Structure 1
Amino acid sequence: MLLLAGCGTQRALAPKPDPDEVRAQIVRLMPASASNRQGWATDIYAAFEAQGLDPSKENLCAVLAVAEQESTYQADPTVPGLARIAREEINRRAARLHVPGFLVSAALGLTSPTGKTYAQRLNSVRTERELSAVFDDFIGMAPLGQQLFGNFNPVRTGGPMQVSIAFAEKNARGYPYTVDGSIRREVFTRRGGLYFGTAHLLGYPASYTRSLYRFADFNAGWYASRNAAFQSAVSLASGVDLALDGDLIRYDTREAGTTERAVRQLGPRLGLSERAIRQALEEGDTLDFEETELYGQVYKLAEAKAGKALPRAILPGITLKSPKITRKLTTAWFAERVDERRRKCMLR
């Protein structure tokens, strides 16, 4: 007991890492080919410091690996064919709303606040930051802007870690910088993109033993890897085939989704009511889900049937879909690719 108390005290009194040493370490961990490594190190350290995260080599390499995968260390990376993607999005929305093409063309021919027409600006965009600015102006100024997009800017991710703008806006409290106009605009900066990307990657407690599953969660949502493993256990215990996507309940309605219905079939064997099952599944976006009776009982049934221990995390089976993606990619592909970059970073 005295030894344990001593270890606990030693941990509590461990000296805070020296900022200069941490920044120097980040520079060493980055590939030599990356430009302005000192600037990246400054912003990454600031993100860790503001969020009270441990700047361990593992954590630093995890952030660096995502940034390298998503942007090759570019604060505002270019997207091939972005102008075409933008025009196609506008045309899709116009067709859905039965807005004639000639009206769309007329609206895009209007002069924007920059002095150029919206069409000219769209034709020259190369980055999501530029495209987001065009849509913001178009929504606010053009007659058809509100009709086509309301207040919804279709650019939903951005910055060096391609973090969700909705996530950033929801988690803006504690942001350490003076906001330049909006959180959306901050995401497209190096400092903002790294701050919110780091929060999305490391800013939640998880019982994972490998960074691989955090990388999958970064792509598919918090706890997606754990929840996909739970779905696999439910499928084994119930005999119901399930998509292992990490979505335990439907958030667009109170109606039960396929996973919830499969768990309900196990209800009598679990000794749980439908209400209790629903309440437990609603904890699926928190670490507390692992402490629920449902979680433990499902694994007990599934492992008895399998005759062996089952994993508590697996890579979700999700195919990535986006106008920017031109080939078949999956969450597993993303996670494994980033994990390989993390491994190389650790070797450095």
Structure 2
Amino acid sequence: MLALTGCGSHAVLPPQPSPTEIQSKVAKLIPATVSDRQGWAKDIQVAFTSQKLDASNENICAVLAVTEQESTFTADPQVPGLGKIARGEIDRRASRLHIPGFLVSAALQLPSPNGKSYSERLATVRSEKQLSAIFDDFIGMVPLGGQLFGTLNPVHTGGPMQVSIAFAEEHARDYPYTYNGTLRQEVFSRRGGMYFGTAHVLGYPANYPEPLYRFADFNAGWYASRNAAFQRAVSQLSGIDLALDGDLLAAGSLLPSNTEKAVRTLGKRLDISEGAIRRALEKGDSLAFEDTDLYEDLYALADQRAGKPVPRAILPGITLQSPKITRKLTTAWFAKRVDERYRRCLQRAGR
């Protein structure tokens, strides 16, 4: 498809190495401390080959850097205190639904399909793969489980790259493996996690000046870095403070977001209608947003005001929220940590 920092047009790839050559290349770039480097290399090679990605040092190192940051090359990474975190989530949901705690405790004492009670399994759970299986059983076998979670398993990410399960389900059409069970279970496997994680890092065109912003997008969503820069330009022109989170529209709502409201105040200066503003912002999850009159005219105005080109990409200002996170972390922190690992990988490649 594209080189890591390539532009949005579909470039013609140079002749690609064979699968065996790609595997050898990947194995040499994986940190020496990783066990089963050939196994990792094979799964990464399949991801690159099946997705027609350029197996450049830059692209391979991007995938390796994210994997190292997310799991230190562990197919099913362990999370300290995961059972306690899960029980806390169950209790919070029960409280919101006004379900008495004794009913929750009683339900968790029921035997699960493997013979152990749900409470016993939660007490010994160590990984998200194990926790996801517990929730699948709990939702399917216990009436209270369906009441608490419906059909939605609350474990949202998994595997060695901690890729979103929802992302995998949206991009599973060309998945190259046959498998038993569910796609969710595949995400927790090494091969599945690496396939969908690779797609999340490299599977979209972006006009970024450096890979740092692609790493931020892995954490915050495709084009979050570009959209955050657009939000900052809007804020500077309108004088309205905006959260630089990359979300141009209010998720799941037809009501205008704060970003859309701020852009509307610039409508006369940009000579653009509210309807045209909305249609342009709806393209914020694709490269096509950069071809809209709104994007081009707003940046022309921003550049003129600043007397120089303003940035088209910045690190989103997002604080990471998760029961697994015990200290204040941000998307910028994540992107910079991955970028450090990426540059060490390039050093191993002799770059």
How high is the TM-score relative to the length of structure 2? 0.95
Q: Which amino acid aligns with 1:112?
A: S
Q: CA–CA distance in 1 between the matches of 2:203 and 2:227?
A: 18
Determine what percentage of the aligned residue pairs are the same residue.
Answer: 68
1:178-327 equivalences under 5 Å are 178-327=178-327
Deviation at 1:180, TM superposition (A): 2.5
Q: How does 1:22-33 map to 2 (within 5 A)?
A: 22-33=22-33
Distance 2:272 2:14 in 1: 46
Cα distance in 2 between the residues matched to 1:13 and 1:192: 25
Q: TM-score, normalised by structure 1?
A: 0.96
* Distance in 1 (alpha carbons) for counterparts of 2:339 and 2:149: 37
Rate the CA distance shift 1:12–1:281 in 2: closer, same or farther, 3 A.
Answer: closer
Aligned position for 1:162: 162
Q: Secondary structure at the match of 2:266?
A: helix
Q: Deviations over 1:132-175 (max 9, x none)?
A: 00000000001211111110111000000000001101111000
State how far apart, in whole Å, the 2-side matches of 1:184 and 1:13 are. Answer: 32
- Which residue does 1:7 correspond to in 2? none
> Where do residues 96-115 of structure 1 align in structure 2 (5 Å cutoff)?
96-115=96-115
Deviation of residue 15 (structure 1)? 3.1
Once residues 70 and 108 of structure 2 are traced to their aligned partners in structure 1, the CA distance between those partners, rounded to angstroms, is 31
Contact conserved, 2:317 with 2:330, CA < 8 A, in 1? yes
Residue of structure 1 in register with 2:86 after alignment: 86
Q: What pairs up with 1:333-348 in 2 under 5 angstroms?
A: 333-348=333-348
Which sections of structure 2, spanning at least 5 residues, go unmatched? 1-10
The CA distance in 2 between the partners of 1:252 and 1:223, in whole Å, is: 18
Residue 14 of structure 1 deviates from its aligned partner by 4.5
| One-letter amino acid of the counterpart of residue 127, structure 1 | S
RMSD over equivalenced CA pairs, Å: 1.1
After superposition, what is the alpha-carbon deviation per residue over 1:206-239, rounded to whole angstroms, capped at 9, x for unaligned? 1112111110000000000000011111111111
Q: Is 2:169–2:183's contact at 8 Å kept on the other side of the alignment?
A: yes
The farther-off stretch of 173-182 and 272-281 is 173-182
- Kindly provide the amino acid, as one letter, of the partner of residue 106 in structure 2: A
Question: What's the CA shift for 1:12?
Answer: 5.7
Partner of 1:177: 177
AA in 1 matched with 2:72: T
Listed one character per residue, the Cα deviations across residues 90-129 of structure 1 (whole Å, up to 9, x for unaligned) are 0000101111111111110000000101100111100000
Cα separation, 1, equivalents of 2:223 and 2:14? 30
1:70-149 equivalent positions in 2, closer than 5 A: 70-149=70-149
What SS does structure 1 have at the residue aligned with 2:288?
helix
Quickly say closer, same or farther: Cα 1:14–1:164, change in 2 above 3 A: closer
Equivalent AA in structure 2 for residue 34 of structure 1: V
Structure 1 position 22, deviation (Å): 1.2
- The reply on whether 1:55 has 2:48 as its aligned counterpart is no
Mean Cα deviation higher: 316-325 or 306-315: 306-315
Aligned residue number for residue 68 of structure 1:
68
Corresponding residue for residue 21 of structure 1: 21
Q: Tell me how far 1:13 sits from its aligned partner.
A: 8.8
- The count of aligned residue pairs is 338
Pair 269,123 (structure 1): closer, same or farther in 2 beyond 3 Å: same
Q: Give secondary structure in 1 for the equivalent of 2:143.
A: coil
2:189 alignment partner AA: T
Q: Deviations over 1:168-194 (max 9, x none)?
A: 011110000112211100000000000
Deviation at 1:18, TM superposition (A): 2.0
Conserved? CA contact 2:16–2:54, under 8 Å? no
Report the counterpart of residue 5 of structure 2 in structure 1: none
SS for the counterpart of 1:255 is: coil
Instruction: Give the corresponding residue for 2:328.
Output: 328
Kindly provide the amino acid, as one letter, of the partner of residue 298 in structure 2.
Answer: V
Whichever residue aligns with residue 143 of structure 1, its letter is: P
- Structure 1 gap ranges (5+): 1-10
CA contact (8 A) 2:161 2:193 kept: yes
Query: What secondary structure sits across from 1:35 in the alignment?
Result: coil
Write the letter of the residue equivalent to 1:229: A
SS of the equivalent of 1:144 reads helix
